[in-house]
């Protein structure tokens, strides 16, 4: 697979990464551990070199899974993980709320290094901006960890442009991770121009609209009780029914290219900027293989215009987060 560079300090990643959260957390029951390991190792064999996890996924269990799965591939892959939620380090209990105090960041780094079985964390994101801690202090803690050789690159997740600028002035930000897809295009307004100006890479999560752009979800789909999408306004049955208009558009355009809607959606993202690395997640090998096809699908300028023109005709329904989570983003 082709490689891309995130940030100006040379963090190299495969054009598509793998979001590992759903193997353990957030989108239904965790997969069997050996199945999760097999999927991650299959991703490596198929050319993926960039893997995303976080201490809060579980908590802890996803980092442990990723660490075990990638242990044979040290030096061949890059692992991104995250700090910033308040979690009891002994019990793994999610205490609710945020905690990005410098001493907490450094404690999380030590624990994540052990779970990931690495000597240095390739990319260490602040998971959500903590309004109680100046971002300059957060970036300063990351800088200390980089100087100590425990972290290689610093990142932010769901941060607003002023926060990005302030952090970047203290410690260069290699990448911003935020939601971006044909299902959610808000980053195009301010975020992407800011990243381009500062030389920061972009890692879109939910590049397939939390699965919606695959064409496998409609208004009759039911989700497991533990699935995060149950509380997402954009995934109410009414919103899904309305938003299927976008999927139908993608199906038609994809068919003309001999591709699936998911492949078209990923190829569209990759075509936006050469420093964008989407991280679709899956629990199924055949979906992994399908997604990889998006990295080789060539879209012409006319194809991109047609996709934009068709998508602009669809008024999407529903917010991407419930109110209590929406207030955590863009700060």
SS (H, E, C) 120-153: CEEEEEECCCCCCCCHHHHHHHHHHHHHCCCEEE
Per the annotation, the verdict on 125 as an active-site residue is: no
Annotated catalytic residue, options 57, 125, 180, 321: 57
Q: How far apart are CA 7 and CA 154, in angstroms?
A: 10
CA–CA gap between residue 140 and residue 14 (Å, rounded): 28
First-to-last alpha carbon distance for the chain, in angstroms, is 34
C-alpha 301/C-alpha 288 separation (Å) is: 27
How far apart CA 38 and CA 32 sit, in angstroms, is: 10
Tell me how crowded residue 249 is: count the other CB atoms within 10 A of its CB: 20
Which of 107, 110, 130, 126 minimizes the C-alpha distance to 118?
110
Kindly report the backbone phi and psi dihedral angles of residue 196, in degrees, each rounded to the nearest multiple of 5, phi listed first: -65, -45
The alpha carbon of 108 is separated from its chain's Cα centroid by a whole number of angstroms, namely 20
- Cα separation of 32 and 70, whole Å? 16
Q: Rounded distance, CA 296 to CA 281, Å?
A: 18
> Would you say 193 and 165 are in contact if contact means Cβ atoms under 8 Å apart?
no
- SS3 assignment, position 196: helix
DSSP track, 90-102:
TT--EEEEE---H
Alpha helices in 257-330 (DSSP H): 261-272, 285-293, 301-311, 323-326
Distance CA 234, CA 59 (A): 26
Catalytically active residues, by annotation = 57
């Amino acid at each position: 697979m082709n490689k891309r560079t995130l940030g100006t300090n040379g963090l190299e990643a495969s054009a598509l990464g793998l979001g590992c959260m759903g193997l353990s957390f957030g989108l239904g029951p965790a997969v069997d551990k050996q199945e999760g390991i097999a999927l991650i190792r299959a991703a490596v064999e198929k050319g993926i070199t960039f893997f995303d996890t976080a201490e809060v996924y579980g908590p802890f269990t996803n980092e442990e899974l990723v660490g075990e799965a990638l242990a044979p591939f040290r030096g061949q892959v890059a692992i991104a993980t995250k700090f910033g939620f308040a979690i009891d380090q002994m019990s793994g209990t999610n205490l609710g709320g945020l905690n990005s105090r410098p001493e907490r960041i450094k404690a999380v780094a030590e624990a994540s290094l052990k779970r990931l079985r690495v000597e240095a964390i390739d990319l260490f994101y602040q998971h959500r901006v903590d309004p109680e801690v100046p971002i300059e202090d957060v970036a300063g803690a990351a800088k200390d960890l980089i100087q100590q050789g425990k972290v290689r690159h610093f990142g932010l997740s769901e941060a607003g442009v002023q926060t990005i600028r302030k952090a970047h002035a203290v410690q260069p930000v290699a990448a911003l991770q935020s939601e971006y897809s044909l299902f959610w295009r808000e980053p195009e307004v301010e975020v992407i121009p800011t990243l381009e100006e500062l030389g920061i890479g972009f890692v879109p999560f939910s590049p397939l609209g939390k699965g919606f752009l695959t064409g496998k979800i409609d208004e009759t789909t039911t989700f497991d009780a533990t699935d995060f999408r149950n509380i997402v306004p954009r995934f109410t049955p009414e919103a899904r029914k309305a938003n299927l208009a976008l999927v139908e558009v993608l199906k038609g355009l994809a068919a003309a290219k001999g591709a699936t809607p998911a492949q078209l959606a990923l190829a569209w993202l990759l075509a936006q900027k050469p420093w964008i690395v989407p991280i679709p997640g899956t629990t199924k090998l055949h979906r992994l293989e399908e997604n990889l096809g998006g990295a080789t699908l060539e879209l012409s300028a006319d194809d991109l215009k047609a996709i934009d023109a068709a998508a602009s005709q669809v008024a999407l329904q529903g917010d991407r987060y419930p109110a209590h989570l929406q207030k955590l983003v863009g700060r």
